Amino acid sequence: MIAENIKIVKKNINEALSKSKFDNDVTLICVSKTKPVEMIIDAYEAGERNFGENKVQEIVAKAPLLPEDTVWHMIGHLQTNKVKKAVQYAEYIHSVDSLSLAQAIDKEAGKTGKIQKILCEVNIASEDSKFGLNEDSLIDLLIEISKLQNIKICGLMCVAPYTEISEENRKYFVKLREMMNKINQMNIENVNMNMLSMGMTNDYMIAIEEGATFVRVGTGIFGERNYNI
């Protein structure tokens, strides 16, 4: 089932890329939160290498059970006390939304000589229920992060509103892309981003048409999640 689902998602990705006006390279992140390691191994065996979790504990538990070349993405809200493990395991942290968090990441990365790749999370539809920054605080934060030695700012991430009509989210993906371009043009030292982490099961094709470079697909690969077990 998982290999079949991946085939379908890959086909959809290629179709969306053919419609995209941008020459974006897209990396599929298989979002495996709440799912058992056996399912991740199925996806690995189907050729996938990038996996996303929203809890550091799940990465810590699963990572040792997968081959070394598995690439982990921390996509959920990150608490400062979990930063050490996040830096140890995650190739990318997509959810940076405060200076204190960035400083903690910088400090941990510095201890091990790692340059931690991050994206900043934007609350693109200004939803009360979501984490992430608005544009003004994003710019302020980027200026501060750009001075940190052990962090590389790669791009921006958003979680668009839940909808079954994916077209409704196009405006938010456009907005995130335009925000990134605008900030790049401000010529802030050490801030030159090229990654957009946007699009989930319901809307990744639209996100790709608008320039996504990472799409985060959970349900479309692993099926519905059950949070009650």
Ligand X SMILES: *Cc1c(COP(=O)(O)O)cnc(C)c1O
- Using alpha carbons, list the distances in angstroms from residue 47 to 8, 17, 25, 133, 194: 14, 20, 17, 34, 25
Total of residues contacting ligand X (CB under 6 A): 13
CA distance 154 to 117: 6
54 binds ligand X (CB under 6 A): yes
What lies within 8 Å, CB to CB, of 165 at 6+ separation is: none
Q: Which is nearer to ligand X, 44 or 51 (CB)?
A: 51
CA distance 45 to 167: 33
CB of 52: closest distance to ligand X in angstroms?
Answer: 7
CB of 177: closest distance to ligand X in angstroms?
Answer: 18
201 binds ligand X (CB under 6 A): yes
Q: Which is nearer to ligand X, 76 or 155 (CB)?
A: 76
CA distance 111 to 114: 8
CB of 215: closest distance to ligand X in angstroms?
Answer: 9
Q: Which is nearer to ligand X, 90 or 148 (CB)?
A: 90
- Work out the angle at residue 32's Cα, subtended by the Cα atoms of residues 165 and 167, and round it to the nearest 5 degrees: 15
Please give the structure tokens belonging to residue 151.
Answer: 């962090």
**Residues between 18 and 47 with contacts to ligand X, criterion CB under 6 A:** 31, 33
199 binds ligand X (CB under 6 A): no
- Looking up tokens 């538990």, which residue turns up? 61
76 binds ligand X (CB under 6 A): yes
CA distance 15 to 119: 26
- Binding residue (CB under 6 A) for ligand X from 2, 43, 138, 159: 159
CB of 156: closest distance to ligand X in angstroms?
Answer: 13
Q: Which is nearer to ligand X, 211 or 220 (CB)?
A: 220
CA distance 119 to 158: 10
CB of 17: closest distance to ligand X in angstroms?
Answer: 18
CB of 92: closest distance to ligand X in angstroms?
Answer: 12
CA distance 110 to 163: 40
Please give the structure tokens belonging to residue 53.
Answer: 């979790």
Please give the structure tokens belonging to residue 222.
Answer: 């692993």
217 binds ligand X (CB under 6 A): yes
Q: Which is nearer to ligand X, 159 or 179 (CB)?
A: 159
Residues that bind ligand X (CB under 6 A): 31, 33, 54, 75-76, 159, 200-201, 216-220
